[in-house]
Amino acid sequence: MTADAYMPTREDKFSFGIWTVGWQGVDVFGGPVRPPMPADRAVRKLAELGAYGVNFHDNDVFPFEASEAERDQKIADFRRALDATGVVVTTATTNLFGHPIFKDGAFTASDRDVRRFALAKTMRNLDLAAELGARTYVFWGGREGAESGASKDIRAALSRYKEGLDLLAGYVVEQGYDLRFAIEPKPNEPRGDILLPSAGHALAFINELEHSEMVGINPEVGHEEMASLNYAHGISQALWHGKLFHIDLNGQNGPRYDQDLRFGNGNARGAFWVVDALVAGGYDGPVHFDYKPPRTEDDDGVWVSAAACMRNYLILRDKVRAFRADPEVKAALAASGVEDLMVPTLAAGETWRDVQGFTPDIETLGARGLGYEHLDQLALEHLYGVR
Amino acid sequence: MTADAYMPTREDKFSFGIWTVGWQGVDVFGGPVRPPMPADRAVRKLAELGAYGVNFHDNDVFPFEASEAERDQKIADFRRALDATGVVVTTATTNLFGHPIFKDGAFTASDRDVRRFALAKTMRNLDLAAELGARTYVFWGGREGAESGASKDIRAALSRYKEGLDLLAGYVVEQGYDLRFAIEPKPNEPRGDILLPSAGHALAFINELEHSEMVGINPEVGHEEMASLNYAHGISQALWHGKLFHIDLNGQNGPRYDQDLRFGNGNARGAFWVVDALVAGGYDGPVHFDYKPPRTEDDDGVWVSAAACMRNYLILRDKVRAFRADPEVKAALAASGVEDLMVPTLAAGETWRDVQGFTPDIETLGARGLGYEHLDQLALEHLYGVR
Amino acid sequence: MTADAYMPTREDKFSFGIWTVGWQGVDVFGGPVRPPMPADRAVRKLAELGAYGVNFHDNDVFPFEASEAERDQKIADFRRALDATGVVVTTATTNLFGHPIFKDGAFTASDRDVRRFALAKTMRNLDLAAELGARTYVFWGGREGAESGASKDIRAALSRYKEGLDLLAGYVVEQGYDLRFAIEPKPNEPRGDILLPSAGHALAFINELEHSEMVGINPEVGHEEMASLNYAHGISQALWHGKLFHIDLNGQNGPRYDQDLRFGNGNARGAFWVVDALVAGGYDGPVHFDYKPPRTEDDDGVWVSAAACMRNYLILRDKVRAFRADPEVKAALAASGVEDLMVPTLAAGETWRDVQGFTPDIETLGARGLGYEHLDQLALEHLYGVR
Amino acid sequence: MTADAYMPTREDKFSFGIWTVGWQGVDVFGGPVRPPMPADRAVRKLAELGAYGVNFHDNDVFPFEASEAERDQKIADFRRALDATGVVVTTATTNLFGHPIFKDGAFTASDRDVRRFALAKTMRNLDLAAELGARTYVFWGGREGAESGASKDIRAALSRYKEGLDLLAGYVVEQGYDLRFAIEPKPNEPRGDILLPSAGHALAFINELEHSEMVGINPEVGHEEMASLNYAHGISQALWHGKLFHIDLNGQNGPRYDQDLRFGNGNARGAFWVVDALVAGGYDGPVHFDYKPPRTEDDDGVWVSAAACMRNYLILRDKVRAFRADPEVKAALAASGVEDLMVPTLAAGETWRDVQGFTPDIETLGARGLGYEHLDQLALEHLYGVR
């Protein structure tokens, strides 16, 4: 396997948020370390690296305070870069967290005017998203939450959240936009606790929506791992529900601040299973990276890290395929009975009557080894590249 | 407020698992510190303390290996204690985790015979549950999970999980039992990662079930807090979905091993909001404690800790009511606009057209303080008992 | 107990960082929500609330880029406010994290010029600290760390850290300043992993320093709890080593981003034991709050939260004293044998020979209950204010 | 690189605890899944797999309740297996946690008789350890801790801990045993909070001991990672202090229950840096595995997982060496300035006077990129085996 095998192509559908490579490094403890990056520059550079698509917040392209003229100019620049490079807008989203007006949330802000403004801001960007050809619209409710118990009536907040998404889905339907919604869960940060904290909570919530068929989820590696949850399991459950509309890949080292490391950093072993779950589950949406180049990096480092996200995905995809094709792995899977789980517990035509009172050879089954350590070691050796 | 105000009554609907006070203290690092406790003794003692109900696993009442005669005898003893004390069986469940046969799961074990046996074992205990008057049947799939990536196909596992619950729900319906199911989520321990790891994941899963209307959740304080999730938020979302069928109260100190501390220990502040969420949400099921008396306790300590669970709930309920009735709190809630969140974002008859382009006074709204610290300090002072 | 009992006095030695009430709310996801607060205004307002002292970074008082004239002016304003209010500077520290030059650390930056600059910047602020009467100088090495494995040779970094502190301690000694150093540990954020991640690591490190006698620690509630560590245990160990030179009180909800909630929020139960440990351990340094008023608050909310930090400390101190004075608690402590731990294991004059082969009544000791649940319930009822 | 390159040899100094492969699978939720394993069988099987040494608790070899005759018999069997295989006892330790007598701790139990018994039990096993040639004696104080605040006076407990270790060290010295002590930290489980919760806390504590020169630490991967701490950083600090006397390698997935996965499972990326730190730091003690074969495994699976621990270490050691020898890595290290950190901040002969007022080109240094992402990507590609 040569290094060239890991060059991204359009077919890989790699995409990045404009805000990822454009992050200037502002955190709670320090100011910017890199100059602002115009959205069009981000597009051109990502194109050079082999990215296929981009995702943007409205205020990645033009500032919150932009005049109409400035807005138009920035969008024109952005569009020119897209046209020039062939990079597509796969996805778009609204910045409902940066401005002080959203400090208490957007769709679930206590203040009704803030909520109405959040809807208006989103509708306007839905128009732009549709115009630019996005097919997925992401909702990350980073400020929808609370630091203290009495400040947010959770049931009321969920009702307002639903109201907002129902209205926006209705708007999309009425406009005839070819857009699906994807909710991005996160447990905490920047709020003490955020609504819809995990993939599961978002999946449950979607069932209550008016247009639930057009709403899925966009789980992020780091967000689920901040809650000690297994991301590969999470996306597998989403696939099982038919709701994995988008993914945000990056790296995280367990429960701590949101690290947004490049994909491959953080939980390297978990990343292998993430790619395995995506490949096995037939996920065919954008392979999106939502990461932040560390503050230690200059502009060169930004592009090194962006390229590495894609490269690591390709390396892991290669490994995952080799793992699944390995005859010894197939034998181990069979020996462990992993595939027996695909066989329904009841045979065709059986009912509860057929298992009532069923008593197998309990002692033998209790003593049986599953051989999972052997199987897992095979996987690890594929990750290590020693098989 | 005198101490007597905190004496439990039947109306409080306090219940305990037989396995809680009966825990002998076996952990990974040490053997039993207390003698076995017959289920009937647990019932009698809990009754003395003021408990209203109990919850039991089949193997809390009789051993896994019990002969039919032994089983009958133990059930008769149990029933006699129930009759003598008036303690009701509110809830029952199946031990699908203790015996080696379940080391790879029950409804999602790779081995099909194990799955069939798990169904049979559950059906038999559903009969007993119905006979003893239980109205809720809990499913905690503690061994449904994996320590390594290839050992469990998550989508297949969810299909088998659904198959099992569909069959069992069908059985209950056909038998005409007045029983609802409550799934109890847990993120990990004893498995590396457990299926349906949070309240959200379980709520989402339920939507796929054949008899979803009769299935809800039984979230446990410690289980959600092991994943850094806000338990009060979790049960509020469950209430919003109409799915909070049961609760397991105890104490935990964040992400670490499953501590099962008595209710009130662990996250004391969180406990206040838990009771507030239950009261505000109109939860009227059993107030169930699923805790373990620490290994440092002898038989006396067991009953001290059990009594304290109920007492702490009553203390907190008192505080929560006082908090909500406090005029200063009401004023603070109004000043913060907390109740405005109950007002729909759109007025009656409005559509998206009415908010499109809406632009409030952004600067003023951005500068507005929400006053949540004042509100939260009032809550804390109610917790402290200094108001 | 009336509310007035919780009014702070000078004797309580409450202090705040200028940066706490001055935090403008910038985080990774959003910009400032409050206007800048001049240090002198912070001093005047804190004085009104009853604070006794303040702590400052050089760049809390004047900007990093300040000219000499601007620096002098800002210091003069600050000093005037101190003089006018009687607020003392208990503590000072250096901002070695905000400017991009420190993005890879200060004393442990790979770049030697950065390290030299960090020393120069610190020396200059040590002069100011001494001039303003500070007795403690804090070292929080928030940028001393790494996001990836090869980027920092940990042993070399510790050697440079030691070199820096040895030089600075020598400087203080030579200048005759009456200043002690206090290292503030933190496990992560803003770096992926920070050097000296816990109170223990810092205590160990101090033993290697040239002037170890003048160096202690300044542990922060939230920083230890981000690593799931028990803060009360941590400060007790520091007291045992004679090294608790300063404390940073605030609130945190376990492993997640650094929340810096007001003291009393977060782990309310833990806060009780923190105050108990301070009182019992005879800590008599500043009772310092290092918190951040949430972004939801305006200027009023800032002062509400600052006042609440002090008030909560006083409430808890009151409770702790009542707990320790309660005859039932004393009886419970005696019954549990807690005080027996103060009795040496060997009697005076005994050696290992006296315990060799010692065999107590193992069965009786194994069966003995410690009664800790009863004891802990008494503590909880003091926290609740129901005793 | 052929698979044979990963066959363990005596020079690799691999060792296992008898209790690791001997774990029967008892946890809080279920009973044994494997039959007891006599210590001598463990020795023989480990020898076959290529292990060099073993570590044992007294009660791994003979039961707590063993008569003198039974004890002698079991020790003779164990010794025979050692002699027959050439496996050495590198390390020994005392079981001070399994029996109910230790439920409140051993050296820090409230009960003085328990403490005296713990010392006696340890002394007796020190004799056996010395007799069997162990050079390191491990102290894991798993039951030294508390679930609630008032139950343990931490300062008194540390004094008793010190008293115990001082006595035992004195005993070793007087007996002329060639044994060093290694304290194994752990943050929690089985106690709510354990004394000396991290490598740092233990290192600090050691400085207070009478024979501190003969006491170091034995940090375990999982124990540090349960507290979100970077294990490679922890052992590097221990090496810097000259105190890394022993290591316990295994796998863990962040803050949750103590998983004791085989080495290589869990944090795979972290494991690379662990081996790098050991190799770079010149650690030459036993490479010890303290893991638990999952309950899903039968006897075959036990040995598969044990062999994999060693194999994974060898694979990673190979990768680490290749990484450090790679010219591109050397160039990247130089470009990033990583090695500049080994250059003292002051030149020979310089004092604080030489850096006072030092002002570098701040803008340039602030803008400089460190290139750590490039460096880390090289490391990751070595881990992946694609370089």
pLDDT one-digit tens code per residue, A135-159:
999 999 999 999 999 999 999 999 9
Mean model confidence pLDDT for chain B: 97
* Statement: residue A2 has pLDDT above 80: no
* Statement: residue A273 has pLDDT above 50: yes
- Neighbors of chain C with 3 or more C-beta pairs under 8 Å: A, B, D
Q: Verify whether the Cβ–Cβ distance B239 to A107 is below 8 Å.
A: no
DSSP C160-221: HHHHHHHHHHHHHHHHT---EEEEE--SSSSSSEESS-SHHHHHHHHTTSTTGGGEEE--BH
Residues of C in CB contact (< 8 Å) with A are: 25-33, 97-100, 102-104, 142-143, 147-148, 151, 187-190, 192-193, 226, 253-259, 261, 265, 294-296
Q: Is A298 a catalytic residue?
A: no
CB proximity list for B270: less than 8 A, separation 6 or greater? B221, B225, B230, B231, B232
For residue B369, give the nearest of C255, C301, C312 by CB distance: C301
Residues of D in CB contact (< 8 Å) with B are: 25-33, 97-100, 102-104, 142-143, 147-148, 151, 187-190, 192-193, 226, 253-259, 261, 265, 294-296
Q: Which residues of C touch B381 (CB under 8 A)?
A: 315
Q: Which amino acid is at A54?
A: V
Mean model confidence pLDDT for chain C: 97
Q: Verify whether the Cβ–Cβ distance D371 to A267 is below 8 Å.
A: no
Q: Verify whether the Cβ–Cβ distance C98 to A258 is below 8 Å.
A: no
Q: How confident is the model at residue A1 (pLDDT cuts 50, 70, 90)?
A: very low
pLDDT of residue A5: 82
Q: Verify whether the Cβ–Cβ distance D255 to C116 is below 8 Å.
A: no
Task: List b or e across D28-51, with b for residues whose CB sees 16 or more CB atoms inside 10 angstroms.
Answer: bbbeebbeebbbbbbbbbbbebbb
Q: What is the pLDDT of residues C251-293, one digit of tens each?
A: 999 999 999 999 999 999 999 999 999 999 999 999 999 999 9
pLDDT of residue B157: 98
Where residue A337 falls (left for φ over 0; alpha for ψ -120 to 50; beta otherwise) is left
Length of chain A as a residue count: 387
Residue C299 half-sphere exposure, CB side, CA atoms within 13 Å? 9
Q: Which residues of A touch C95 (CB under 8 A)?
A: none
Closest chain C residue to D271, measured at CA: C149
Distance CA C247, CA C140 (A): 12
Q: Verify whether the Cβ–Cβ distance B376 to C265 is below 8 Å.
A: yes
Q: Which residues of C touch A257 (CB under 8 A)?
A: 188-190, 256-258
Helix/strand/coil for B267: coil
* Statement: residue A93 has pLDDT above 80: yes
Segment D281-287 shows an average pLDDT of 97
* Statement: residue B251 has pLDDT above 60: yes
Contact between B264 and B233 under an 8 Å Cβ cutoff? The reply is no
* Statement: residue A4 has pLDDT above 80: no
Whole-structure pTM value: 0.98
Segment A257-274 shows an average pLDDT of 97
Closest chain C residue to B363, measured at CA: C33
* Statement: residue C1 has pLDDT above 70: no
pLDDT of residue B1: 42
For residue B308, give the nearest of C255, C296, C377 by CB distance: C377
Q: Verify whether the Cβ–Cβ distance D30 to B100 is below 8 Å.
A: yes
Q: What is the pLDDT of residues D148-168, one digit of tens each?
A: 999 999 999 999 999 999 999
Q: Which of A12, A27, A58, A60 is catalytic?
A: A60
pLDDT of residue C201: 98
Closest chain D residue to C120, measured at CA: D356
Q: Verify whether the Cβ–Cβ distance B203 to A199 is below 8 Å.
A: no
Segment C125-143 shows an average pLDDT of 98
- Neighbors of chain B with 3 or more C-beta pairs under 8 Å: A, C, D
Residue A168: name the closest of A131, A125, A207, A122 by CA.
A122
* Statement: residue B3 has pLDDT above 60: no
pLDDT of residue B290: 98
What SS3 string covers B61-90?
Answer: HCCCCCCHHHHHHHHHHHHHHHHHHCCEEE
pLDDT of residue A32: 98
Residue A5: name the closest of A247, A378, A319 by CA.
A319
Distance CA C58, CA B276 (A): 45
Q: Which residues of C touch A27 (CB under 8 A)?
A: 27-28, 190
Segment A353-360 shows an average pLDDT of 97
* Statement: residue D1 has pLDDT above 60: no
Cβ atoms < 10 Å from Cβ of A84: 12
Q: Verify whether the Cβ–Cβ distance D100 to C273 is below 8 Å.
A: no
Measure in Å the smallest separation between the Cα of A269 and chain D Cα atoms: 6
Q: Which residues of A touch D296 (CB under 8 A)?
A: 369-370, 372-373
Longest Cα separation, chain C: 77
Q: Verify whether the Cβ–Cβ distance C108 to D338 is below 8 Å.
A: no
pLDDT of residue B236: 98
Q: What is the pLDDT of residues C166-201, one digit of tens each?
A: 999 999 999 999 999 999 999 999 999 999 999 999
For residue A256, give the nearest of C102, C188, C295 by CB distance: C188
Q: How confident is the model at residue C217 (pLDDT cuts 50, 70, 90)?
A: very high
Segment B290-312 shows an average pLDDT of 98
Q: How confident is the model at residue D189 (pLDDT cuts 50, 70, 90)?
A: very high
Q: Verify whether the Cβ–Cβ distance C204 to D168 is below 8 Å.
A: no
Two tokens, residue D161: 């801990």
Measure in Å the smallest separation between the Cα of C374 and chain B Cα atoms: 6
Measure in Å the smallest separation between the Cα of C246 and chain B Cα atoms: 26
* Statement: residue B267 has pLDDT above 60: yes
Q: How confident is the model at residue B299 (pLDDT cuts 50, 70, 90)?
A: very high
Q: Verify whether the Cβ–Cβ distance D265 to B147 is below 8 Å.
A: yes
pLDDT of residue B5: 82
ipTM above 0.90, yes or no: yes
For residue A110, give the nearest of B276, B336, B344 by CB distance: B336
Closest chain C residue to A293, measured at CA: C147
